[in-house]
A and B are shown apart, each in its own frame.
Chain A
Amino acid sequence: MRKKIPQSHLLFFLFCSIILMPEIPAAAEFTSDVSVEGRGFFHSPVYPEQRRNNGSLAVNAEFYHEFSSGSSFIVTPFFRLDSADDKRTHADVREANFLYLAESWEMRVGIGKVFWGATEFVHLVDIINQTDLVEALDGEEKLGQPMIHLSIPRDWGTVDGFILPWFRERTYAGKKGRLRFAVPVDTDKAKYESGSEENHLDFALRYSHTLRDMDVGLYHFLGTSRDPVLIPEQNGSGRIILIPYYEQIGQTGLDLQFVAGNWLWKGEAFYRSGMGRSFAATTFGFEYTIVGIAETAMDLGLISEYVFDDRDVGRSPIVYDHDVMLGLRLAVNDADSTELLLGLIRDLKMSSKIITLEASRRMGENVKVNLEGSFFVDISKKDPSYGLAEDDFVKLEVTYYF
């Protein structure tokens, strides 16, 4: 069994949320969507226990109620069933919180989701929510995080304070799944630096402000690193496995978005101190949009970003340590919202290249079709992403919105 948020804690949050509610929602809004996905891999798997292809079904639901005061209540459960990987079959409460809206502040209590950051390819400074890595490799899918979040907007900027009482462990593909490390991660054996393990109380304080052309955010986080060190160990049956080890860290992060005409400049950086040597990481770049290419209604965005991560790679290998990313984003601007995104990630130290393609369009009013592909080219044996070398795939996902 993977460690989950203890049910008593979830119940406590739900209880808090309900007693804070000024009235019982009479007509909560309910929406949901179901998606069916097929992933086809071009090559046979390298590791014998892996299944070649997989099919999957996912459900998102949302109950939402807004009170006349502007305060609101939301619950959004998520569930995925996967044909190949039992670790990818998982459920989560993405959100279950009550938002209290006062005249000069607001507070969110419960399981919530928060995004910090500016760049398109790598999300370095985003730290409040744990990454649901079995969902997507891009790190954009997140697990719900229990929190008390106070936000105070002022003329001179917004101050956000967070108390994060329970920690969520990162999800990883299981033995049978593809898109995993060469050595599988055993999430059941996760270890913590803190004696209170996942009950460690984490804190974050963030200041953000908009200065006409610039959006800036600065924060400090104190608590359990969302980003585990993976330690190789021999398990009972003598096999080498990776064990996630969650350290206590202090991290200061900065994110910037700056608009200058058709140019959008974006940057993120953090400085982290913890058990190993302290280190910094940064990613920055631009997006330039050409409006109405070739006298059509289509817009073309050119994206270029760079990432540098100074962590001790001997201790915690990472995929993006010194990489450059190039992207092309085509918005067709038709009634079906057709979009295409082509990306290239090139490791500047090794030969490794990752090519990604994403295309999406709506069909009718309620159906969205997504086509995605990832190709791993010349992956170096020394690269931590070597486990992906034979995992070139194409994924088709059809989502129906109720």
Chain B
Amino acid sequence: MRFFLLFFMCLLFCYPAGCFGESPEEKGLDIALEADLRDAGFMDFTADMLMVLRNKHGRESKREIRIRTFEVENDGDKSLLIFDTPRDVKGTAFLSFSHKVGDDDQWLYLPALKRVKRISSRNKSGSFMGSEFAYEDIASLEVEKYTYTFLREETYEGRDCFVNGSYPVDLKNSGYTRLVSWRDKDEYRLWKVEYYDRKNTHLKTLTFKDYEQYLGKYWRAADMEMVNHQNGKSTKLLWTNYQFKTGLTDRNFDKNSLKRAK
């Protein structure tokens, strides 16, 4: 019996990729990679987003945004955001090429001047359109932008979840020291993300609701809400009209496309 136990322990320590032998860092990365893999191959999608900003007195302000995203092989996604409301920014468009390594490329199109402006992507922690979402929260979540540590397994709202810690690689420009995310074990969908600011205090919580599956593979939440615990404000994103594999090409994401955006 003792021999058997010894043999078993040897097996445990020698078997490199076995789940028992995984370090929390390896397991954390594996979860992120698996989630990324499950969402890969969507090619492109378009969707409409209603952004509802709410201040601590309950006053609401709305923005309607159309989104087009294009999957790039071996690099981050390309995205084009076109604003429909508020009316004074109608036609303003935001083009972003995210990269797995290094800064993203971003341009802003100002329709009144017909001007395409390069903007600095180091404003990661800056507020997106006055909302509680920072640029880094809406950017495409490339695995390479964080390091990971698996924290624990936990039941969240009746689902068995992995609780994973993510740490921004670009610590200097990120507004966060860490993120803690809850993903269900069945489908690797995100249900909750907690954001910890530079002083490592809990700043915001993002929750996901009403997931729907598209093309039998891609899960998207129709309702996302970011609550800022420090200023009492919140921002809701309500997604409709998701369409995948619409046949978008690189040309829908060049600078001419910004000027055509309406």
Residues of chain A from 321 to 346 with CB closer than 8 A to chain B in the complex: 333-337
A33-B87, A264-B119, A401-B88 as given contacts; A101 in contact with B125, CB under 8 Å:
no
Alpha-carbon distance A147/B106, docked complex (angstroms): 29
B127's partner among A33, A215, A333 (CB-CB below 8 A) is: A333
Q: Which of A158, A334, A401 contacts B256 (CB 8 A)?
A: A158
Binds B, one of A199-207, A291-299, A351-359: A291-299
B251 and A72: CB pair below 8 A?
no
A220 interface contact, C-beta 8 A: no
A261 touches B90 (CB 8 A): no
Given A365-B86, A365-B87, decide whether A259 and B175 contact each other with a Cβ distance below 8 A: no
Instruction: Determine the interface band of chain A, counting residues with CB < 8 A from chain B.
Output: 35 or more
The reply to whether B120 and A106 form a contact with Cβ atoms under 8 Å apart is no
Contacting residue for B114 out of A70, A114, A297, CB 8 A: A114
Any chain B CB within 8 A of the CB of A30? no
8 Å CB contact of A215 from B88, B103, B118: B118
Report yes or no: B126 in contact with A292, Cβ–Cβ below 8 A: yes
CA–CA, A151 and B55, complex, Å: 45
Q: Tell which of A33, A299, A334, A335 has the most Cβ of chain B within 10 Å.
A: A335
Given contacts A153-B254, A264-B119, A291-B126, contact A64 B87 (CB under 8 A): no
Q: Could you tell me the distance between the alpha carbons of A132 and B179 in the complex, rounded to whole angstroms?
A: 51
- Complex Cα spacing A233 to B122, Å: 55
User: Closest CB-CB distance, B69 to chain A, in whole Å?
Assistant: 18
Inter-chain contacts of B122 with A (CB < 8 A): 261-262, 289, 291
Is A333 a contact partner of B88 (Cβ separation < 8 A)?
no
Asked if B245 lies at the interface with its beta carbon under 8 angstroms from chain A, I say no
**A263 at the binding interface (Cβ < 8 Å):** yes
1/0 per residue, CB under 8 A from B, across A101-138: the answer is 10000100000011101000000000000000000000
Chain A contacts of B175 at CB under 8 A? 292
From the candidates B87, B118, B121, B256, name the one contacting A366 in the complex (CB within 8 A).
B87
A334-B130 in contact (CB<8A): yes
Q: A54 to chain B: which residues have CB within 8 Å?
A: none
Q: Would you call A299 and B126 a contact (CB within 8 A)?
A: yes
Asked whether A365 lies within 8 Å of B113 as measured between CB atoms, the reply is no
Q: In the bound complex, what is the Cα–Cα distance between A64 and B150 (angstroms)?
A: 52
* Cα A264 to Cα B107 with chains together (Å): 12
B123–A291 CB distance below 8 A: yes
Complex interface: chain A residues within 8 A of B90 (CB): 31, 401
B255 contacts A by Cβ under 8 Å: yes
| CB-based nearest B residue for A332 | B130
Contact across chains for B123 and A115 when beta carbons are under 8 A apart: no
The closest CB in chain A to the CB of B126 belongs to A291
Q: From A370, which residue of chain B is reached at the shortest CB distance?
A: B88
Bound form: Cα–Cα A101–B129 in Å: 31
Instruction: Give the CA-CA distance A158 to B53 in the complex, in Å.
Output: 39
Which among B87, B119, B175, B260 has the greatest number of chain A C-beta atoms within 10 A? B87
Whether A292 and B113, one on each chain, are in contact in the complex, defined by CB atoms closer than 8 angstroms, is no
Q: For the complex, is B147 an interface residue (Cβ under 8 Å from A)?
A: no
Complex Cα distance, B116 from A151, in Å, reads 16
Contact assessment for A151 and B256 in the assembled complex, using a CB-CB cutoff below 8 Å:
yes
- Are A259 and B120 within 8 A (Cβ)? yes
Instruction: Spell out A's residues near B (CB within 8 Å).
Output: 29, 31, 33, 64, 66, 70, 72, 99, 101, 106, 113-115, 117, 140, 151, 153, 158, 208, 210, 212-213, 215, 257-259, 261-264, 289, 291-292, 297, 299, 333-337, 362, 365-366, 368, 399, 401-402
Closest CB pairs A-B (n = 3): A401-B87, A335-B61, A333-B127
